[in-house]
Homo-oligomer: A and B are copies of this chain.
Amino acid sequence: MAAKKEKPIILITNDDDITSKGIRSLVEAVSDLGTVVVVAPDSPQSGMGHAITIGSPLRMNKMDLFGNIEAWQTSGTPVDCVKLAVDKILHRKPDLCLSGINHGANHSINVIYSGTMSAAMEASIEGIPSIGFSLLDYDYDADFTAAKQTVHKIVTAVLNKKMEKHFLLNVNIPALPPEKIKGIKICKQAYAKYEEDFAERLDPHGKKYYWLTGEFKNFDKARDTDVWALEHGFVSVVPVQFDLTNYTLKKQLEKSNLFK
């Protein structure tokens, strides 16, 4: 007879805040797959990148938001949440960390600005397999039906096949009904980004201030990018790493004697 398998511990966080529909959808999508613990920010943290809180202390409060699922809100960033969860709440590494589901895209270069992906990356650095999920719909009340099905499929596959400890995925889901989604495509990060343009305004005292705006542009013509996949109705899955070394340039510079 097979030994009774212990349920995996799944840490869930996000960057939109603990009350968002996206994190609730993520909890619902995987609650049958393991013991879920939620540790998430008490206020929106979009665009926080890999920010950590050094100069001020952090607060944590236990919340009753997800029925019988343990949940904590913190005053920190998404990265702080992962650190607090491991050190002060779980007192161990979870078996898997999930971040999201983000209200809005985190494909291409946005992996770098995204609080959702930074939380997932933090877990991966700590040696916890991790996945960030984003839905291409910024609406507060977005429809997460297809996203939940995608999450369940991917998390089931990842839990069934033991992944190496730094395993990290960036998953983006098109804003389509389930029957319109063509499948899941393994991709690379597109070179696509916002072309910034600051909107200039005058305050009531006649002084200028600036709002960040921008137009999204895809400079990458390859067909194996996340942007291509999403534009063609696929879920994009980009395997991500935190070693930022440019090994090609490293070899060139080693040969060049440029700094001798």
A interface with B by C-beta (< 8 Å): 44, 46-55, 57-60, 79-80, 83-84, 86-88, 109, 111-113, 118, 121, 125, 153-154, 157-158, 161, 167-168, 183-184, 186-189, 191, 193, 196-198, 200-201, 207-212, 237-247, 249-250, 253-254, 256, 258-260
Beta-carbon contact of A241 and B244 below 8 Å: yes
Within 8 Å CB of A184, what residues of B? 259-260
Beta-carbon contact of B113 and A168 below 8 Å: no
Known: A87-B198, A208-B60, A243-B191. A52 touches B259 (CB 8 A): no
User: A60 to B209, alpha carbons, bound, how many Å?
Assistant: 7
Beta-carbon contact of A58 and B246 below 8 Å: no
User: A60 to B167, alpha carbons, bound, how many Å?
Assistant: 41
Contact of A121 among B57, B112, B242 (CB under 8 A): B112
Contact of A259 among B109, B157, B238 (CB under 8 A): B157
Closest beta carbon of chain B to A18's beta carbon, Å: 17
User: A247 to B50, alpha carbons, bound, how many Å?
Assistant: 22
Contact of A112 among B210, B242, B246 (CB under 8 A): B242
Known: A52-B49, A198-B88. A244 touches B240 (CB 8 A): yes
Within 8 Å CB of A238, what residues of B? 244-245, 250
Closest beta carbon of chain B to A45's beta carbon, Å: 9
Beta-carbon contact of B50 and A113 below 8 Å: yes
Residue among A49, A87, A113, A260 with most chain B CB within 10 A: A49
Q: A49-B79, A187-B250 are in contact. List 11 more A-B contacts (CB 8 A).
A: A58-B198, A60-B208, A60-B210, A83-B196, A86-B196, A87-B197, A88-B210, A112-B125, A157-B259, A183-B260, A239-B253
Beta-carbon contact of B51 and A47 below 8 Å: yes
Contact of A242 among B88, B244, B254, B258 (CB under 8 A): B244
Complex: chain B residue closest to A252, CB-CB: B239
Beta-carbon contact of B153 and A57 below 8 Å: no
Residue among A51, A245, A258 with most chain B CB within 10 A: A245
Subset of 28 A-B contacts with CB under 8 Å: A44-B55, A46-B54, A47-B54, A57-B201, A59-B207, A59-B210, A60-B208, A79-B113, A80-B212, A83-B198, A87-B197, A109-B242, A112-B121, A112-B125, A112-B244, A125-B193, A157-B258, A183-B260, A186-B250, A186-B253, A186-B254, A189-B245, A237-B259, A238-B250, A239-B247, A239-B249, A239-B253, A240-B244
User: A87 to B239, alpha carbons, bound, how many Å?
Assistant: 33
Contact of A209 among B58, B111, B157, B186 (CB under 8 A): B58
